[in-house]
Amino acid sequence: MAASCPQEIFIIGGGFSGTLTAVHLLREARPGQLRVTLIEQHRRAARGLAYRIWDDSMLLNVPAGNMSALADEPGHFLAYCRDIDPAFNEGSFVPRRLFGDYLEHTLQVAERGSRTPFTRIRAQAVAVRRKQASPLLQIELDDGVTRQADQVVLALGHLGAQPLHFADALAGSSRYIGNPWDYAAMDQIPAGGPVVVLGTGHTAIDALFRLTSRDDERKVFLLSRRGLLPKGHRTLPQPPPTTTFPGYLEDLPPTTFAYLRAIRRQVRLRQRQGCNWRDVVNALRPHTPEIWRRLPEMERRRFLSRVGPWWDIHRHRLAPTAYRRLRGMLASGQAAVVAGQVLQMHEHGPGVRVIVRPRGGSEAREWDVAAVVNCTGPDYDIDGLTASPLVAQLRDEGCVRADPLHIGIDVDAGYHVVGADGLKVSGLHYVGPMLRARYWEAIAVPELRRHAHNLARHLLTPGQA
């Protein structure tokens, strides 16, 4: 009997999720089982947005002890760090650049140790289509070349910032930075001029640090509807415990506020025992996908509108040094947090005039600033997405669809994307932050590493891919 041909697996996107999927395929595939190709438009894989930063003042927001790329080797990243500096420990918050180096190294080691052929292509995929009367998928690249695959993994990461209708008047202006990761554009803002940063989350804090690192006289306004800032980690963070589903959440009605009341009671109880609210949040982390699954769609909507922003600032915390730096800038007046709504923005003289209605107020305020930076967060609604030609093509041809809440891509339990007809698309998979639609927890390393590994195992198991 003739030997079967190796499966051709193409991974589109070489950030964290795509890199980890490739690593697990290379580590676990049998000789001759498959060939793996990674398509990444940037020169270096394993970086993505978060780790393509060469400023070592930008730190990871998770301690090194919980940042292993390999869930079954929890000390893997820490060992890499200690090879560089033995002073690192499991509670260290290290530069993001270092984590990018580590991911790149992990991929290189997997490639050297594998008998599975591995190819890298530097290009952008612009379309994926089923070949007529064939089970194969055809990938079209921006250089005009096409490739054929048995399985395609979409590992596209974040696809751009949320569009803001009130920023239309500044479209094309150098005074409006719509890409919050474009540090080169931020560096071109005239010195001394104040800047409005739209958003108060982690991306906004990164922008604040970049803007003031290059100009420590600059005033920065952090503006969001609620004015909520991320909380800080403890200086000696505790690793998340491995526990069964919390008993105090069992037998509750599946509503947002029933869970919220129970969690608050648990926080008060643990605080009386000398613990910290962070211990309760950390213990919930492995179980939030199950809580999300139990909530009906109406309750998920209620969570997003009423509770989500407060959950985020407690769940996604800043490294202790970053938190202290932020508090110092607020105390000195260099940074100011404003809760309010932008009514209008337009060019005015050499800068931008921003008109804001403060939260709870009736009278609008006007600021004249040098520039505005959009840090309102990634755009997760693929129905209106234009930043990715590939996603737009797949959406328009019915091969992917948004989830009912428009916070991600609809997938099944095997990471197949779900098409417009409600059926899985054979051979086409997704892994990355838009898994939040199904699992909620899908943007941090401890969760994404598990999803990447699970997807790799599906691809390696006959009949599941």
What would you measure as the largest C-alpha separation in the chain, in angstroms? Answer: 81
As its CATH architecture, domain 165-231+318-374 has 3-Layer(bba) Sandwich (3.50)
Task: Answer for the pair 312, 462: CB distance below 8 angstroms, yes or no.
Answer: no
- Residue where the block lists tokens 């919930």: 284
Tokens of 149: 């695959």
Reported pTM: 0.93
Q: Which helix (H) or strand (E) holds 357?
A: strand 351-358
Q: Report whether pLDDT(340) > 70.
A: yes
Q: What is the pLDDT of residues 46-78, one digit of tens each?
A: 777 777 777 888 899 989 999 999 989 999 999
Nearest to 375 by CA among 220, 247, 216: 220
- At 240 the pLDDT is 67
Mean pLDDT of 292-316: 96
- At 272 the pLDDT is 95
Mean pLDDT of 109-130: 96
Nearest to 249 by CA among 276, 286, 275: 286
- At 443 the pLDDT is 87
Eight-state DSSP code of residue 318: B
Mean pLDDT of 340-364: 93
* Confidence grade of residue 238 (pLDDT, cut at 50, 70, 90): low
Task: Answer for the pair 439, 421: CB distance below 8 angstroms, yes or no.
Answer: no
Eight-state DSSP code of residue 70: -
Q: Would you call 408 helix, strand, or coil by DSSP?
A: coil
Tokens of 272: 């009386």
Q: Report whether pLDDT(5) > 90.
A: no
Mean pLDDT of 429-434: 96
What are the CB-based long-range contacts (under 8 Å, 24+) for 224-228? 224/198, 224/199, 224/200, 224/339, 224/376, 225/339, 225/340, 225/341, 225/359, 226/200, 226/309, 226/339, 226/359, 227/200, 227/337, 227/338, 227/339, 227/340, 227/359, 228/200, 228/309, 228/310, 228/312, 228/313
Mean pLDDT of 164-186: 91
| Segments in 256-340 forming alpha helices (H) | 256-272, 277-284, 288-294, 297-302, 308-315, 320-332
- At 171 the pLDDT is 87
Q: Report whether pLDDT(3) > 60.
A: no
Q: Report whether pLDDT(146) > 90.
A: yes
- Could you give phi then psi for residue 161, rounded to 5 degrees? -80, 160
Q: What is the pLDDT of residues 432-458, one digit of tens each?
A: 999 999 999 888 888 999 999 999 999
- At 2 the pLDDT is 43
- At 243 the pLDDT is 77
Which range, of 97-106, 119-128, 181-190, 381-390, averages the lowest pLDDT?
381-390
Q: Does the structural domain 7-160+380-460 have CATH classification 3.40.50.170?
A: no
Q: Where are the domains of the chain?
A: 7-160+380-460, 165-231+318-374, 247-315
Mean pLDDT of 203-229: 95
- Cα gap 269→1, rounded to integer Å: 66
| Segments in 388-444 forming alpha helices (H) | 389-396, 436-439
Answer whether 7-160+380-460 and 165-231+318-374 agree in fold.
yes
* Confidence grade of residue 155 (pLDDT, cut at 50, 70, 90): very high
- Cα gap 179→169, rounded to integer Å: 16
Which amino acid appears at position 464 of this protein? Q
- At 239 the pLDDT is 67
Average pLDDT of the residues of the chain: 92
User: How far lies 220's CA from each of 5, 96, 132, 326, 334, in Å?
Assistant: 58, 24, 55, 12, 6
